[in-house]
Amino acid sequence: MASSIEKVIASTFMEMAQGLESGQYGRRPKIALTGMGSEHGEENSMQAAVMAAKQGVDVYYIGTLEAEGVTTIKVTDDEEGHKKMEDMLKNKEIDGAVTMHFPFPIGVSTVGRVVTPAKGKEMFIANTTGTSSTDRIEGMIKNAVYGVIAAKACGIAKPTVGILNVDGARQTEKALKELQSNGYDIAFAESGRADGGCVMRGNDVLQASPDILVTDSLTGNILVKMLSSFNTGGSFEATGFGYGPGIGEGYDELVMIVSRASGAPVIANAICYAAELVRNKVSDVAKREFDAVKKCGFKEVLASYKTVAKPAAAEEEVKEPPKEIVTAQIAGIEVMDLEDAVRALWKIEIYAESGMGCTGPIIRVSEANLAKAEEELKKAGYIN
């Protein structure tokens, strides 16, 4: 008994000492970083790990390097590192991970976080990688909710939402205001331009007029790259927090994305962004937000604003084949065709899943079915 009490006392004093040193009290979040694959070398990744560890995070560095204050998980290459990261997440050995690429399922996309140049103000960009929906308008409406979740999990009680003036902005605005009129508690930002409104111009991006800037993920990806590296010529992302966590209904793993061009300061901030989401229980925040928006007719609003008419083939009832392990990837498919391509494979009894790889949309199949699946997709015109 005495030994058990002594361990508790020792652990408590250690937490107090670490809190005094870092300014962060309580259990330290455990965040893994896959360090291999950076365009700036593995040393850049380890530098980020050391910086984040000094901010009250237990950093597990997956790579070949070692440093004081960081736990190294030795791997020989990037592929082994990703497998190790996924195993650690699955086994709850870590609370979250920061990595340079990850195949999120359709419905999950990341909320980036940047520091804007005009006023040095932070802004969330919803969204930056992954695909919330294969339908553009539905995706942007979901992105707004995902952005609210990320902002609230970072301590902003009532974040303001602005919609970037891109294709689909007005439909997204109408849909979000319909949800608001149904009782969903969403606050809209006001453009800094004279005519105001919640549709944001380029000036608003630079000034961070909204807390959350809603856009499609391809545009959001470009914005993060530009805002984080405009002072360096583009090859080194020097400011901001990276491309953020993958968020989607029912998705509970905390995986944060950075770029191969991300410098140590950005990667360190991404690790700290992950730790903040862990401390503020982002999964609980997401569940509350999804529950709230669904009570206000979220499903019905999404259906009414969906822009893509299903072709006759998509309307056909196709039964999903028995699930199997899918490790082979097929790229080069237009995102709007992704779900139809999956159905085309199901139709010939090949089990397939859609996803988002580091270079764009992918379909995942078993190694045994790869050649046959590629042949079928070429025949149907889904890939070249």
Q: What are the residue numbers of the active site?
A: 358
Distance CA 221, CA 110 (A): 10
Tally of CB atoms within 10 A around 349: 10
Nearest to 215 by CA among 368, 87, 109: 109
